[in-house]
Amino acid sequence: MAKRLDADVCSLYLCGSDLDRLTLRATVGLRRDAVGNVVLRLDEGLVGLAAERMEPVVIDRASEHPRYKYFPETGEERFESFMAAPLIVRNVPIGVLAVQTVNVRRFEQGDVETLLTCAQLLMPVVLNAQLIDAAGLPLLEEQRVAVDEELAQHGIPITGVKPARAGGGIELAGIGTARGIAIGPVSKLGQMDLERMEYTPSSSVEQEERDLMQAVHDARRELDDTGEEMGEQFGPDFAAVFNTHIQILEDKGFLAKLKEAVRAERDGLAALRGVLAVYRKQFERIADPYFRERAWDVEDVGRRVMARLLGVRHDTAPLPEGAVVVVDNILPGYFARLDLEKVGAIISEHGGPTSHGAIFARTLEIPAISGIAGVLDACRPGELAIVDGDEGKVYFSPDEHLVGEYERAQQRAAVAIQHLDAMRARPAETRDGRRIRLSANVGLVSDLRLVEQHGADGIGLFRTELPVLAHRGFPDEYEQEQLYERVARAVAPRSVTIRTLDLGGDKDIAEFGVENEENPQLGCRSIRLSLEEEGVFRAQLRAILRASVGGNVRLMLPMVSSLPELRQAKRVIEVARGELDDAGHAYDRDIPIGLMIEVPSAALTADALARECDFFSIGTNDLTQYTLAVDRTNEHVAHLYTPLHPAVLALIDASGRAARRAGIPVSLCGEMAGNPLAVPILVGLGIEELSGTPSGVPVIKEIVHALDAGEAEAAARVARDAGTAEEVHAIGGRVLREAGLLDHADIGGWLRPIVEKAERGVA
């Protein structure tokens, strides 16, 4: 809190059982020996004032306030400004969270709201702790649920756990990382607590180093076997992740750090823990969530080495049919250890949608939810669980009514998927005959089967940075060519649009030695980085060109922001062409070269760009972020991130009009392409191709079939002139309702809550 609010002090004062005195219980910034020794009545001091009033207290010059009370043991005489928020239960204050600054400061309303939110989140933690302390015993599961229910009845938010449901069940919320519904018994897959296991290092530091290096060697051999097995079972993408883990163990820098640490610590286990901690901190500093979650790869590798050093094995108990597997994090190694035929769903305490484990779950179409704090403690092995990967919710010990609801939803989903996939050969065409191409965004070869299964019209975006990451560096030119050629052949004669590397300065790829940047999203990333590293860029271009020999490949440049940038990239492409000509290699000489509209400057100069390229693809994820100045991974502002903002629609419209004036095709990729509320508006704006997740294609196809292009155009004109994102959502919802989609046999039940939420004015 001190760091977040740029404060010099943050302190927590708590009431005892008598509820009339506050004691300093924790602090950053005040003297530590004051903790437990500073006690004041509720009618004393500014801290007491916050508790007494049961509302925030914000004072610029604290020492001049009549309620100011100086406690010499805290050393707080040098702090001027003061802000405090009470912790309240059933209209009774149980504590105060306070911050102070050395310099006089006027706290903003946002600061006050942040402090209030944190106080609310702390309150159930404090209350539970006090109840446990009072009893002198740990709470039983039933008691903990009762406490949570009591708090919830009084409007107090509880992170993760919601009120107890009928029948004693509980509901938890997390991040839906793989869609689908599962109902089955809980099976906990707890990690062996390697951190607490006893270990006696060798008396000789040389022997200790040999033991640690032997553990590394054994872990590497184990990974070799696992990668080979996973490759045979699921394809090369799964094997590539384990190859990544092997490369971590072969990394000279990693090994050098281990050897240096073991010589300093004289303890292999301590050395390994220390090196892993350093790597963990480095990854935590990365802004991009996909690359930040690679920390779990290092963690997975480290645990393998640790287990080998300790001489323990990871044995997994047999799973019941349809098991809901509960883990700390969805690690790639689990997919090798588990009987996947028996896995109904996977839920985890940590991790996000871009971890390798989450990607595996999506590829295998196993429903998954991550980021549910406390889930391992909240569930019991064998109890029934419902996992809703669409909504990111899990229910433990649900009542019969809820089970019945989800069983019917499961059945409807199965019928709908079967019906929609059976119709995959139908083109996506509006009622009045406008054809819309529905393509897929993919980054792994294993995604290709989903492209076929769900009837996508081709690949609208192939992300080349994912294979790069799997190698922890760049595959050589020949490997890249083989990959791109394989993808092109798999979807032929349909087209595949291959995007050149979309990497940023924060993504820590060794070949790009870019220094850490304060704001990497506005720094040397994507096409800028490729142009700076021309040798690597040309190698990738040659690989794409050689893979284009079949005539169904398009080449796309990411994040082009100006005409000079486009021209510079095209000059490099011409150099790559010349190199292939000199070597006598065949390629498609008419390969279309396009660019992504991802920044406002590109959308606003789209006419000039359109005259010098062959197609546009509008990347709404970054376009939204840059237009609204919102980092969607920042929890404090993520609620402001909405692609259906009128400003974003205006830039999409401007880009589409420029493309049509130049006579070039325009597509749209990003999460917006799979948003049902956005589809009518995008069709109305004249977007010819939507590219999203493969599994979303059948649903979007049904929406397109129900639309009238003329009516969609009228709705798009109104949406473009709207003042708020909420208005745009309501317009999209109205079109879906009037098209009869809420009564659609296959997708009506899924669309109804989305439309009703939009009609209530919730973006």
pLDDT band at 492 (very low <50, low <70, confident <90, very high): very high
Same structural domain, 51 and 25: yes
* DSSP 8-class letter at 293: T
> Tokens standing for 568?
């510079």
What is the largest distance, in Å, between two alpha-carbon atoms of the chain? 88
Domain that holds residue 541: 423-759
Same structural domain, 148 and 264: no
Which CATH number do you get for residue 742?
A: 3.20.20.60
Cβ-based burial of 757 (10 A; exposed 0-12, middle 13-18, buried ≥19): middle
Q: Are 212 and 272 in contact (CB under 8 A)?
A: yes
- Which residues are within 8 A (CB) of 281 and not within 5 positions of it... i.e. 6 or more apart? none
Which CATH number do you get for residue 265?
A: 1.10.274.10
pTM of the model: 0.59
Is 485 part of a structural domain of the chain?
yes
pLDDT beyond 80 at 675: yes
Q: What pLDDT is recorded for position 373?
A: 80
pLDDT band at 644 (very low <50, low <70, confident <90, very high): very high
Among 9-23, 103-117, 345-359, 381-395, where is mean pLDDT lowest?
345-359
pLDDT beyond 90 at 440: yes
pLDDT beyond 90 at 269: no
Q: What pLDDT is recorded for position 147?
A: 44
Average pLDDT over residues 251-269: 86
Same structural domain, 339 and 395: yes
More confident residue, 165 or 697: 697
Same structural domain, 669 and 723: yes
Model confidence pLDDT, tens digit, residues 565-584? 999 999 999 999 999 999 99
pLDDT beyond 50 at 152: no
Same structural domain, 509 and 622: yes
Q: What pLDDT is recorded for position 452?
A: 84
Same structural domain, 77 and 187: no
pLDDT beyond 80 at 471: no
Average pLDDT over residues 32-55: 88
Q: What pLDDT is recorded for position 688?
A: 95
Of the three residues 251, 283, 310, the one that is the final residue of a domain is 310
Of the three residues 310, 333, 349, the one that is the final residue of a domain is 310
Is 161 part of a structural domain of the chain?
no
Same structural domain, 427 and 400: no
Average pLDDT over residues 286-304: 65
The listed range with the strongest mean pLDDT (43-52, 228-237, 459-468) is 43-52
Which CATH number do you get for residue 401?
A: 3.50.30.10
pLDDT beyond 70 at 18: no
Residue type, 242: F
Q: Are 244 and 467 in contact (CB under 8 A)?
A: no
Q: Are 226 and 220 in contact (CB under 8 A)?
A: no
> Tokens standing for 163?
């009120």
Is 158 part of a structural domain of the chain?
no
- R_g of the chain computed on alpha carbons: 29
Residue for token pair 């294609």: 697
Q: How many domains does the chain have?
A: 4
pLDDT band at 517 (very low <50, low <70, confident <90, very high): low
* DSSP 8-class letter at 374: T
Q: What pLDDT is recorded for position 70?
A: 80
Is 174 part of a structural domain of the chain?
yes
Is 611 part of a structural domain of the chain?
yes
Q: What pLDDT is recorded for position 288?
A: 53
Average pLDDT over residues 237-259: 73
Q: What pLDDT is recorded for position 176?
A: 83
pLDDT beyond 50 at 60: yes
Is 338 part of a structural domain of the chain?
yes
Same structural domain, 753 and 610: yes
Among 200-204, 581-585, 674-678, where is mean pLDDT lowest?
200-204
Q: What pLDDT is recorded for position 543?
A: 95
Same structural domain, 657 and 697: yes
pLDDT beyond 80 at 352: no
Average pLDDT over residues 113-129: 77
Q: What pLDDT is recorded for position 249?
A: 77
Which CATH number do you get for residue 22?
A: 3.30.450.40
Q: Are 500 and 527 in contact (CB under 8 A)?
A: yes
Q: What pLDDT is recorded for position 738?
A: 94
Q: What pLDDT is recorded for position 638?
A: 67
Same structural domain, 562 and 502: yes
Task: Please calculate the CA angle 424-427-431 and round it to the nearest 5 degrees.
Answer: 120
* DSSP 8-class letter at 390: T
Q: What pLDDT is recorded for position 417?
A: 67
Same structural domain, 551 and 591: yes
Model confidence pLDDT, tens digit, residues 528-555? 888 888 888 999 999 999 999 999 999 9
Same structural domain, 500 and 595: yes
Neighbours of 49 (CB within 10 A): 23
Is 1 part of a structural domain of the chain?
no
Of the three residues 417, 446, 479, the one that is the final residue of a domain is 417
- Chain-wide mean pLDDT for the chain? 82
* DSSP 8-class letter at 435: B
* DSSP 8-class letter at 507: S
Average pLDDT over residues 410-424: 69
Cβ-based burial of 481 (10 A; exposed 0-12, middle 13-18, buried ≥19): buried
Return the percentage of the chain with pLDDT > 70, whole number. 81
Model confidence pLDDT, tens digit, residues 284-294? 665 555 555 55
- Which residues are within 8 A (CB) of 549 and not within 5 positions of it... i.e. 6 or more apart? 485, 586, 587, 588
Return the percentage of the chain with pLDDT > 90, whole number. 37
More confident residue, 44 or 713: 713
How does 241-268 read in b/e, with b if 16+ C-beta sit within 10 Å?
Answer: bbbbbbbbbeeeebbebbeebbeebebb
More confident residue, 108 or 729: 729
Residue for token pair 């959502």: 729
Is 165 part of a structural domain of the chain?
no
Q: What pLDDT is recorded for position 571?
A: 97
> Tokens standing for 682?
């995008």
More confident residue, 486 or 282: 486
> What residues act catalytically?
356, 669
